[in-house]
Amino acid sequence: MLENRKILLCVSGGIAVYKAVALVSKLSQAGADVKVIMTESAREFVQPLAFQVMSRNDVYFDTFDEKDSSVIAHIDLADWADLILVAPATANVIGKLANGIADDMVTTTLLAATAPIWVAPAMNVHMYDHPAVKRNIDRLYGDGIRFIEPSEGFLACGYVGKGRLEEPEKITALVGEHFTAAPGPLTGKKVVVTAGPTRERIDPVRFLTNFSSGKMGYAMAQAAAELGAETILISGPVSLPVPAGVKRVMVESAKDMYDAVLAQYDNADIVVKTAAVADYRPKHIASSKVKKKDGESVLELERTDDILKTLGSMKQHQLLIGFAAETNDVDTYAKGKLEKKNVDYIIANDVSKAQRGFDADTNAVTVFGKDDFQQQFDLMPKPVLAKQLLELIVERENIHDR
């Protein structure tokens, strides 16, 4: 299953280190070539010799112990790996990786890596639930790192809950699926997705925004990644987790989103504009809180940049997909956008109808394309709909021939 695959296992300190020895055994039995790096804390639980015997490779733990003088060890290991596993991953090593800290052999190697990195946490249930740990995990998700969720059960500390390192057999199976899965139709393509609302500041405590939850955009990003694409998600302020395998860029205002999209546009193959971007912003942003006063008040607004129209005017090889959330005359407005903004597809929905508004978990849409193409999708969960939409467009456009 894993014949000739190169797996680098980074082991950090915790009682679950004993499972990492079994993991090396399982990976090796499946045909993988496994090399191991240990933190100093990990060596307090298990001696390097155990990993050396199981992997039949040298074990690394000292950044300055260069076993081969012709290479720099941590760079060579990072370049060597087809996949890097951090198992068990303590709160400490997760925090270091999330903040770019490189102070030992494991962390310096991880920062030098270009191969996919999978992190398998193992810690006390309360540590795993701590806001700082959650924040670090969310940041790593945004960097495109995949997590193997810990399982629930009796922990070494005596607690019962989520925090146990996933079983070696399960991790080995996931690695096998990663390498044996057929390439998706978007493999080798770069997809940029925008999602969520924008916020346009009035003063330091107030802003203009809309009801977008980001759910449809996040579903589109997840679907693109599942179909094999390198996926960049440019997101306004939402409280959604980053989909696995997706790199997220957080923005706030329409101007922030405009700049972030243009920075990715030249190298993008597909751009999916689901974000509900503000059409107007305050002309003047107060430097201090605007105090209430008697009588009416007028807020002067100015137009924001039309991101979709700008992308349409700059379009070269890119496939451009826009979304239209309407409350009436859906077909008319969608077809108008298709032409005026020079996009390839407009996906439109009526957000005034039940179960298909901004915060709903389901949606029903109509896809409009050039040459009078039109196809309707009935109400279904947003992740299911997102995958069907992308599969339809990939098939119609012969993406790999573009």
- What CA–CA distance (Å, rounded) separates 44 from 18? 11
Phi/psi for 375 (5° steps) reads -145, 135
- What CA–CA distance (Å, rounded) separates 208 from 240? 20
- What CA–CA distance (Å, rounded) separates 283 from 238? 25
In sequence order, what are the beta bridge partners of 377?
365
Beta strands in 188-279 (DSSP E): 190-195, 200-203, 206-208, 230-235, 246-250, 270-273
The question of whether 10 is a catalytic residue gets the answer: no
Q: At what angle do helices 307-314 and 254-265 cross, to 10 degrees?
A: 20
Write down the catalytic residue from 15, 125, 157, 249. 157
Token pair for residue 196? 């969520």
- What CA–CA distance (Å, rounded) separates 122 from 24? 17
Three-state secondary structure call for residue 323? strand
* Residues with catalytic roles: 157
